[in-house]
């Protein structure tokens, strides 16, 4: 067990956050989850996340005992103050600043701040997020330096000793699939394939080898390529 005994996992219902939740369940005595409705284009993730949570309860008596309350937070203000391809029905493109228009400015900063507030109230001492600087779209709020700086700011501003854990930060998508297999075997890999949602467009028509999705958006491309590399290992 980790010396810090409780965690709050940022859980969207996607591949990365589900893997992070399994990672937390293997390490902490008490684990709670938090999700955000921010007016996302792929709101289907909010529909699938209860099913994923329910099925994770059934993986083992140990995980069932550790997995506690789920917190759903309305952050629809994000969609009202942003203009991105994740909060409106526009084509996914690259911007002049070198970032894709799927970048939602301030999203992860706000997510972590709200999560820290809930963790403070619930007496949870680790915030777990699926941010990654290896296979990602260049989002500055997914970078390790950002998360480290945010941990310092949150602890200074709240007089706490919260840890920000990002277990996927330095691994690629193939390694993320492998982490899921190591944590929960084939059953967890199958759960992620068939129940989680990652596609930016919210497409959930056909089930591919790697899961549901349009197959062409950046999120689907990363997930599909990672799965292909994983099964070839």
| pLDDT of 1 | 46
pLDDT digits (tens, 9 = 90+) for 165-209: 999 999 999 999 999 999 999 999 999 999 999 999 999 988 999
Question: How far apart are the C-alpha atoms of 63 and 58, rounded to whole Å?
Answer: 8
Q: Residue 166 and residue 131: Cα distance in Å, rounded?
A: 6
Q: What are the tens digits of pLDDT across the range 112-149?
A: 999 999 999 999 999 999 999 987 778 899 999 999 99
**What number does CATH give the domain 6-173?**
3.40.50.620
What ranges in 58-106 are assigned the alpha helix state H?
Answer: 61-66, 77-81
DSSP helix/strand/coil, 229: helix
pLDDT of res. 100: 77
CA count, 13 A, side-chain hemisphere, 228? 7
pLDDT of 227 > 70? The answer is yes
pTM: 0.93
DSSP 37: E
Find the angle CA(164)-CA(35)-CA(199) to the nearest 5 degrees: 100
pLDDT recorded at residue 3 = 55
* φ, ψ for residue 61, nearest 5 deg: -60, -35
**Given this model, what pLDDT does residue 223 score?**
96
């Amino acid at each position: 067990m980790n010396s810090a005994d409780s965690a709050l996992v940022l859980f969207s219902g996607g591949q990365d956050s589900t893997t992070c939740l399994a990672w937390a369940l293997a390490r902490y005595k008490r684990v709670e989850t938090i999700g955000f409705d921010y007016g996302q284009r792929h709101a289907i993730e909010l529909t699938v996340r209860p099913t994923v949570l329910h099925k994770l309860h059934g993986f083992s008596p140990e995980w069932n005992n550790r997995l506690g309350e789920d917190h759903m937070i309305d952050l629809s203000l994000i969609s009202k103050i942003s203009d991105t391809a994740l909060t409106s029905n526009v084509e996914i493109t690259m911007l002049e600043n070198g970032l894709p228009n799927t970048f939602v400015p301030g999203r992860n900063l706000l997510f972590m701040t709200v999560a820290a507030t809930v963790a403070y109230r619930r007496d949870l001492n680790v915030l777990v997020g699926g941010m990654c600087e290896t296979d990602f779209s260049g989002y500055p709020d997914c970078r390790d330096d950002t998360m480290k700086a945010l941990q310092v700011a949150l602890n200074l501003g709240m007089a706490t000793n919260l840890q920000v854990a990002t277990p996927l930060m330095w691994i690629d998508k193939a390694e993320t699939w492998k982490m899921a297999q190591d944590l929960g075997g084939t059953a967890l890999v199958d759960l992620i394939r068939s129940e989680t949602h990652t596609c930016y467009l919210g497409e959930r028509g056909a089930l591919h080898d790697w899961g549901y999705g349009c197959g062409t958006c950046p999120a689907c491309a990363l997930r599909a390529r990672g799965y292909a590399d994983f099964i070839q290992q």
